[in-house]
Structure 1
Amino acid sequence: MHIEQLPQVESHYCRSSSSREYLDTDLSISKLYDMYVKWCEERGAEVVRKHIYTSIFNQEYNTRISFVKPKKDRCDMCEKFRLKGKEKSLNEEDRQLYHAHRVAVENSRVEKKKDKETEDVIISFDLEKALTLPKADISNSFYKRKLSCYNLTGHLHKDKTAYCCLWTEAMCGRKGNDIPSAIVKILKNIVIEHPSTKRIILWSDSCIPQNKNSIMSLALKTFMESHPFVESIIQKFSEKGHSCVQEVDYIHSCIEKALKPSEVFSPLGLVRHLKKMRRHGKVIVIQMRRDDFFFIFRVLQNI
């Protein structure tokens, strides 16, 4: 079947809770059908009508393949409370859990606001969904396995600078060892720009595999040992399901808008587009090298 010839990728946001995979975001059912017609003509195969093709896709593939990669904007806890409320099945334990959850959300918001009023260096960071290359409106490219590029974005509150730290899957992935390597690279650039830095506060979501783990702690400790003028680094996390890194979300939105009308064929082309991106504040693009990734797992095994 034509649909099965198209490479799919897993979700950035729901990898642990869903087996659904996604087609290239530049595709649609209409574009897919046009490609199918050309595919059949090249093979001398009979072409079915569009409504039949659409029906087959919806009935046989739509439960495991989709065009749009969803960002889970709805909090699981809030959604559970809302649905139980509609069904009138809430009990006292549910109400207490939800109240504690909402208090934690508000506390995170207030805490970050207070941090911004201090002289500390406040950095928000998050990993953008994978950017796949080449990005071009060429039908043959949709049948090829694309290269995944990763962008860990940091936002420095002091001067509104965006730091885009880039690498490809050919170099490393997006596991526990890779994210700490990228955040350390961003920190090294920040202390060069701001040599008077003494106290750093890092804000991120509470994703345990990427941000909230012993590997990240050891990476930050290693950074401080090599930069003794930095007196402290404090990690703070948003309540699960409620992002407190809206500054980074905005940068990712700017990147998406900048890339949407563009054709990008290589990681170098991606770097050029990001450097030209329009936003309020400077954009610094950092290209990771292979020796920038340190293997924290090996260090942990010796502790």
Structure 2
Amino acid sequence: MNESTTTTTASTSPTATVTGKKRKIRQDRWEQNRKKLKRNSGKSYASQSGNKIPRKKFRHTTDCCKKNCSSSFDYKRQREIFKTFWAMAEKPSQDTFLISCIQREEIKYVKTVTKRKNRSWSWKYSFKVDGQDKTVCKGFFLSLLQITESRMKTVLRFCKSGTTVATEKRGKQPNPAKISNVVWSLVKEHWSTFPNKKSHYGSSKTERKYFENPDLNVKKMFHAFQEYYFDKTGKQLSLKYPTYHRYFRENSDYSFRQRKTDVCDFCTECKIKLSANSSDPCKESFRLHEVKVAEYKVLRQQCTKNINDDTLTVEFDYAQNLPLPKLNVSAQFYKRLLWLYVFNTHCFNDGDSKFFCFLECDGGKNGNSVCSFLNDFLVKKLTENPELKKVVLLSDSCGGQNKNKTLVRYCAWLSVKMGVEINHIFPVRGHSYCQCDRNFGVYGTVLKKVETVENPIEYLEIMRTVRHKPKAFEAEMSAHLLKEWDKTLDSFFLKVPKAKGKKFTIQKYVKLSYKPTGTMSVYADYNGAPQNFNLFKLNAFVSKDTELALANPAPVGIKTAKKNDVLSLMPFVKPVNREWYKNVLRGTCNDNDSAETDEMDSD
């Protein structure tokens, strides 16, 4: 079997990566080294240009000079010297042999009238015969060994320097094109200037850091480094982009963004364990996990494909934050940016999909904002279609946004208020890729090609125009919809839902069902039996006529460092948009300001 064939070895660690056997370097098999061996052995070979070089054949030398020095070496002795020289098969060894055959002597005669400078010394050539040196002429020396004048010049340079053992220096000279360590140290220094942070959930497992700017990539970093290098050294960078990209890929501890698609950690871990040991204890739990995933997919398909006339099916989720401003200048990559939050609600009944957008200074991505936007979307749908008696909500299981007491109380209140049954279904963790993610990908593809976005209205225009079937996306600035639902609903609901002999643990449930009568049923399995809990206080009464006095949320502060970073980018922003940013950072921004900015842009 070829030695380059790799063989896999099982690791004792269940999470270790299975790697193949590292291949050995076989320099003797390299074509270049094979040619070199043939050339040094006097055998025939093909030159770099493809010419056929014949092998060295012994020739009996009989005529050389006036002294007839060849007569001292018969046919047998000459053949022996020839074979000994080429049998060495290594140039350093052959050159060392030649050095031992050459001796430097002072010149005996000096010309008084010459057209060129006299030599400082002469060279004496000899071969050892029976332990004694026998002097020969240079012509006989070259003819017998079949070497050229140019090679002799190299050997004579060794002799002039007093070297007795020749060395091979070809291929060992310093590479003039090699990038110095100073450049690479500046590259790493430049990486650290970009805002970055560790993974929130995986910081204990890895030291990898993630750049905060979502528009950053290797090519943009390379162009920024060219300016950075010139500012530091005053010289133009000679580093090529492919070299920079390879160095980043192999030596960097940074990443641009965390994975976008949902990947189930439990599935990945179990597959690795079972590939190493098919009878691993995780086999049964993995099987049950797959059954649960299959049940969720069937249930979701039933809710999204087989929709009854009396049922409203809605899915909702938050998108990746969008940066403001988004510019095509290098300075932006080193700054903290203002974030635009995007919340999407998608109706499977008629294809309606709406993006609720607001700035980070207007509110947080929490249960209050989810309830505010859901209420605006659902109440309109239920009011326009009075025949709807059921509502199905689909979302991920994020505790801070979708699976918390604020949303539970809101769904219970809405069920009584609108007289509908509400079922909230959560996916298996790691298998939460949904229609909202596809909607984000539709406008995300366009945003990758847009280099400059200076205000939120430009984002909204892109969202409104990227889809035409079945309907265009709706998008609006929705800070005015944000309300404090948690504090307002406290007066109607128990602190913790109660049931005799049962404890309410929301993270255990995959389905929550709310009835217009004010009761709630929870399901630990998709096809399991329900458990009933009480939500409302005894003295609290909610009816269709109940109105809530919802307060507006308190403004969210922005750190001074971020304010300064955003303001420092104003020279790169159009003058008509600069005032809008200043109002935002002063805390005076509202939907009217955004509308004014829209009017200015239309002018």
User: Which position in structure 2 is the counterpart of 1:88?
Assistant: 277
User: Which position in structure 2 is the counterpart of 1:169?
Assistant: 360
Once the two structures are overlaid, the 10-residue window that deviates more, 200-209 or 184-193, is: 184-193
User: Which position in structure 2 is the counterpart of 1:21?
Assistant: 210
- Cα distance in 2, alignment partners of residues 59 and 276 from structure 1: 40
Aligned-pair CA distance for 1:273: 1.4
Contact 1:125–1:155 (Cα < 8 Å) also in 2: yes
User: Which position in structure 1 is the counterpart of 2:475?
Assistant: 285
User: Which position in structure 1 is the counterpart of 2:561?
Assistant: none
The residue matched to 2:428 in structure 1 has which SS? coil
- Cα distance in 1, alignment partners of residues 209 and 421 from structure 2: 41
The residue matched to 1:242 in structure 2 has which SS? coil
Structure 1 167/194 Cα, relative in aligned 2: closer, same or farther at 3 Å? farther
- Cα distance in 2, alignment partners of residues 6 and 188 from structure 1: 44
Question: What is the one-letter code of the residue matched to 1:108?
Answer: Y
Contact 1:204–1:236 (Cα < 8 Å) also in 2: yes
Asked if 1:153 corresponds to 2:351, the answer is no
Once the two structures are overlaid, the 10-residue window that deviates more, 183-192 or 258-267, is: 183-192
Cα deviation, 1:158-206, whole Å, max 9, x if unaligned, reads 0011111111211122234433333333323433554543311101122
The residue matched to 2:358 in structure 1 has which SS? strand
User: Which position in structure 2 is the counterpart of 1:238?
Assistant: 427
Contact 1:185–1:292 (Cα < 8 Å) also in 2: no
Q: TM-score, normalised by structure 2?
A: 0.44
Q: Cα RMSD between the aligned structures?
A: 2.9
Contact 2:393–2:423 (Cα < 8 Å) also in 1: yes
Contact 1:22–1:69 (Cα < 8 Å) also in 2: no
User: Which position in structure 2 is the counterpart of 1:109?
Assistant: 297
Question: What is the one-letter code of the residue matched to 1:181?
Answer: S
Aligned-pair CA distance for 1:121: 0.3
Contact 1:151–1:165 (Cα < 8 Å) also in 2: yes
Cα deviation, 1:30-50, whole Å, max 9, x if unaligned, reads 321211222343466566654
User: Which position in structure 2 is the counterpart of 1:137?
Assistant: 328
- Cα distance in 2, alignment partners of residues 289 and 87 from structure 1: 53
User: Which position in structure 2 is the counterpart of 1:2?
Assistant: 190
- Cα distance in 2, alignment partners of residues 57 and 197 from structure 1: 56
User: Which position in structure 2 is the counterpart of 1:253?
Assistant: 441
The structure having more radius of gyration, on CA atoms, is 2
Cα deviation, 1:216-247, whole Å, max 9, x if unaligned, reads 1112234445xx334122100111111252x2
The size of the alignment, in residue pairs, is: 294
- Cα distance in 2, alignment partners of residues 42 and 290 from structure 1: 46
Contact 1:180–1:216 (Cα < 8 Å) also in 2: yes
User: Which position in structure 1 is the counterpart of 2:314?
Assistant: 123
Question: What is the one-letter code of the residue matched to 2:320?
Answer: K
- Cα distance in 2, alignment partners of residues 50 and 194 from structure 1: 65
- Cα distance in 2, alignment partners of residues 171 and 68 from structure 1: 25
Asked if 1:32 corresponds to 2:221, the answer is yes
Question: What is the one-letter code of the residue matched to 2:381?
Answer: I
Aligned-pair CA distance for 1:299: 4.8
User: Which position in structure 2 is the counterpart of 1:274?
Assistant: 463
The residue matched to 2:192 in structure 1 has which SS? helix
- Cα distance in 2, alignment partners of residues 131 and 206 from structure 1: 22
User: Which position in structure 1 is the counterpart of 2:412?
Assistant: 221
Cα deviation, 1:36-74, whole Å, max 9, x if unaligned, reads 2223434665666547866875677x33x3123312532
Structure 1 191/7 Cα, relative in aligned 2: closer, same or farther at 3 Å? farther
Question: What is the one-letter code of the residue matched to 1:16?
Answer: Y
Contact 1:165–1:186 (Cα < 8 Å) also in 2: no
Structure 1 128/114 Cα, relative in aligned 2: closer, same or farther at 3 Å? same
Once the two structures are overlaid, the 10-residue window that deviates more, 192-201 or 99-108, is: 192-201
The residue matched to 2:365 in structure 1 has which SS? coil
Question: What is the one-letter code of the residue matched to 1:242?
Answer: H
The residue matched to 1:5 in structure 2 has which SS? coil
Asked if 1:71 corresponds to 2:256, the answer is no
Cα deviation, 1:77-109, whole Å, max 9, x if unaligned, reads 1101110012216434x1221111111111111
Could you tell me the percent identity over the aligned residues?
A: 22
Counterpart among 388, 395, 400 of residue 204 in structure 1: 395
Contact 1:271–1:285 (Cα < 8 Å) also in 2: yes
**Larger relative contact order, structure 1 or 2 (CA cutoff 8 Å, min sep 6):** 1
Question: What is the one-letter code of the residue matched to 1:88?
Answer: N
- Cα distance in 1, alignment partners of residues 419 and 488 from structure 2: 25
- Cα distance in 1, alignment partners of residues 284 and 345 from structure 2: 35
The residue matched to 1:275 in structure 2 has which SS? helix
Aligned-pair CA distance for 1:157: 0.5
The residue matched to 1:30 in structure 2 has which SS? helix
Q: TM-score, normalised by structure 1?
A: 0.84
- Cα distance in 2, alignment partners of residues 205 and 85 from structure 1: 28
Question: What is the one-letter code of the residue matched to 2:406?
Answer: I
Aligned-pair CA distance for 1:297: 5.4
- Cα distance in 1, alignment partners of residues 297 and 234 from structure 2: 59
- Cα distance in 2, alignment partners of residues 230 and 8 from structure 1: 49
Structure 1 300/9 Cα, relative in aligned 2: closer, same or farther at 3 Å? farther
Contact 2:356–2:373 (Cα < 8 Å) also in 1: yes
The residue matched to 2:270 in structure 1 has which SS? helix
- Cα distance in 1, alignment partners of residues 490 and 255 from structure 2: 39
- Cα distance in 2, alignment partners of residues 43 and 244 from structure 1: 46
- Cα distance in 1, alignment partners of residues 331 and 317 from structure 2: 33
Asked if 1:98 corresponds to 2:289, the answer is no
- Cα distance in 2, alignment partners of residues 141 and 286 from structure 1: 26
Aligned-pair CA distance for 1:211: 1.3
Q: Which runs of 5+ in 1 are unaligned?
A: none
Once the two structures are overlaid, the 10-residue window that deviates more, 286-295 or 96-105, is: 286-295
- Cα distance in 1, alignment partners of residues 386 and 234 from structure 2: 66
